[in-house]
Structure 1
Amino acid sequence: MGCKPAEPEPKEEAVTPLVIQEEEEPSEEVVTQEEEEQEPSKKDILIAIDPGHQGAHVDMSALEPNAPGSSEMKAKATSGTTGRFTGIPEYQLNLDISLLLRDALTKQGYDVLLTREDNDTAISNMERAVLANESGADVSIRIHANGSESSEANGALVIVPSSQNPYVSSLHEPSRRLAESVLNAYCESTGFRNAGVQENDTMTGINWSSIPVMILEMGFMTNQQEDQGMADEEMRKSMVSGIVKGINQYYVYN
């Protein structure tokens, strides 16, 4: 008998392996990039904010030179005024606004130095200016509020050194530009009367400065409308917003 030819072995069908795709976790790089996009771009500008005065319990009656090399001696600091209608001390108002201003400027990408962060710090007007100078700050903005014997006195104003200042005459022009920019934006934001720019060469905190410097007198704490207004949370937001806008405008057009 002949041999029966062997039947070919059946071929195995190719089986495509089942691949289960897991959901991709967001990479750390993507998360980091998103976080960076939410952060403001750094401006490489350091703003010194000086909340005027300190607590009335801090003795600042000792004397210091009114300017470098000056023989005139003045008290290290004064106690400031008080809200005639709210009872809020000026030193507290100045600090409250300065803390809000620090946060707002930081969100804009500025670096910020506060000369004090509480009401217990014993730091003189000269020491505040020197601190701002030595920190490498680009400008110094001193936060104050006004007082008057008359309850009718009203409005915001700024104070800068004059062009004849015997110590810091070179700071007059940039200080005035900064002050005008801040004051105009502040008054536009708050609705306070613009009482203009004043020049003063007797202030220790100005005479010891080596960077553009200004004092913002935010309003009169002896005026009912302004005293109560500056205590209002929404008005404070407007106050800070105006200052920030003025600083931004100063650097855009500087």
Structure 2
Amino acid sequence: MLDLFLTKNPKHQAILIVTASLILLTITVLLGYAFFLKGPTKHDAKKDKNFVTVPALVGKGMYVAKKKVESAGLKFEVDQWVNSKVYPIKHVISQKPLPNIKVKKGSRVIVNVSGGKDYYSENAIRQQSAVNNENLKPLPEPPIQPRLALIGRVVVIDPGHQRKTDLTKEPIGPGSKIMKVKNPGGTLGTVSKVPEYELTLSIAKKIRERLQMRGVKVVMTRESNDVDIGNIDRARIANNAKAELFVRIHANGDSNAEKSGISTLYPALNEWTAPIYDKSLKAAKIIQKSLIETTKQNDLGIVARNNMTGFNWSKVPVVLIETGFMTNPKEDVLLNSPNYQDHLAKAISDGIIKFLQTYPPRDRIFNSQ
């Protein structure tokens, strides 16, 4: 063999070159095929911006899990609902892919969700096997009592104020001679410098997302800051939607920078609000309680208001939530925290749902225009 490498014979040299080329080509093909099968390495995935880390979801509520997945640029998908004595209803019990694995953006993260310890399908055998058999067809969502069903229930969310100030006036109630400015502009964050209209829209969108996940139909009075709608117009949107509850989101302001806390306003009993008074009061109590229990903030209670245009023109139950004081430095920073806004949205949506569950769908106030 050594003689072959040392030979000066042109024929032998040609054989040697061809043989060496074939060997190199074979090695290159084999290495390339192996890399193709293996895919990108962890190091490559870390460098590639198209890859993201799968978040840990097991034990988290379905809403929180969905938000985590979508925030990572992935798609959230429920495979099946299963019986679980360990995890509460609507909590993730398993996931694929596993957490901390790098996957391409846009990939699906598939989860199984707890239907609670008393969740059964058509027969016990199928239900028991559902926990371990991933090839079963997805089970239906846990049944909801007809009285408590939220599918198709209508709620109107009104993010207070707008970018454009409107100092023209409108009557505070139908036929009233008392006039009030349409849109005085709202307050401004002492520290954040965020205007109230931006804050209220941010919170309102979070409330909408939570309600929609429960099947509630949500109508927004506005979805941008560049609108021009007065308080009569906002009430009419709720009336036209035949809302079961009209929820107005605001933030407070005061000359006393130390003043803080949450309050929920509702219409005082007067010539216009009598048909909606009882339910508005009920909603105010439920939502205020939910807010204080969730946020642990200063409880300013529920407050009846006689002079609010949006109340007096409403033909459906209505409340207005003052989420906090933007003129209080600490509370202003808190109100503009995405995490705290999530807490507010949860508390308000939980209160709304509890209110809706208090009354069956047929028991609505639909006064004619």
Superposition TM-score, scaled by structure 1 size: 0.81
Work out which of the residue numbers 156, 161, 175 in structure 2 matches 1:69: 175
User: Which aligned pairs between 1:92-107 and structure 2 lie closer than 5 A?
Assistant: 92-107=198-213
Measure, in 2, the Cα distance between the counterparts of 1:79 and 1:147.
12
Please give the alpha-carbon distance, in whole angstroms, between the structure 1 residues aligned to 2:141 and 2:268.
43
Task: Find out whether 1:225 has 2:330 as its counterpart.
Answer: yes
Q: Which of 159, 162, 180 matches 1:54?
A: 162
Superposed CA RMSD: 2.0
Q: The residue matched to 2:320 in structure 1 has which SS?
A: strand
Whole-angstrom distance in 1 between the partners of 2:197 and 2:244: 24
Query: In the alignment, what sits opposite 1:156?
Result: 262
- Per-residue deviation, 1:226: 1.3
Residues 1:80 and 2:186 aligned together: yes
Contact 1:60 1:78 in 2 (8 A): yes
Shift in CA distance, 194/59, structure 1 to aligned 2, threshold 3 Å:
closer
- For residues 8-47 of structure 1, the aligned pairs below 5 Å read 34=138, 37=141, 42-47=150-155
Equivalent position amino acid for 1:53 in 2: H
The answer as to whether partners of 2:157 and 2:249 remain within 8 angstroms in 1 is yes
Given that 1:161 and 1:169 are in contact with CA atoms closer than 8 Å, whether structure 2 keeps it comes out as no
The structure, 1 or 2, with the larger RCO (C-alpha pairs under 8 Å, 6+ apart) is: 1
Maintained 8 Å contact 2:254/2:327: yes
Decide whether aligned partners of structure 1 residues 228 and 59 sit closer, same or farther in structure 2, where only a CA change above 3 A counts. Answer: closer
Counterpart residue type for residue 245 of structure 1: D
C-alpha distance in 1 between matches for 2:296 and 2:261: 9
2:279 corresponds in structure 1 to 174
Question: 1:35 offset after TM fit, Å?
Answer: 9.7
> What number of residue pairs does the alignment pair up?
219
Once residues 353 and 165 of structure 2 are traced to their aligned partners in structure 1, the CA distance between those partners, rounded to angstroms, is 37
Verify the 8 A CA contact 2:242 2:316 in the aligned structure 1.
no
What are structure 1's unaligned runs of at least 5 residues?
1-32
2:185 aligned partner, one-letter code: S
SS of equivalent to 1:246: helix
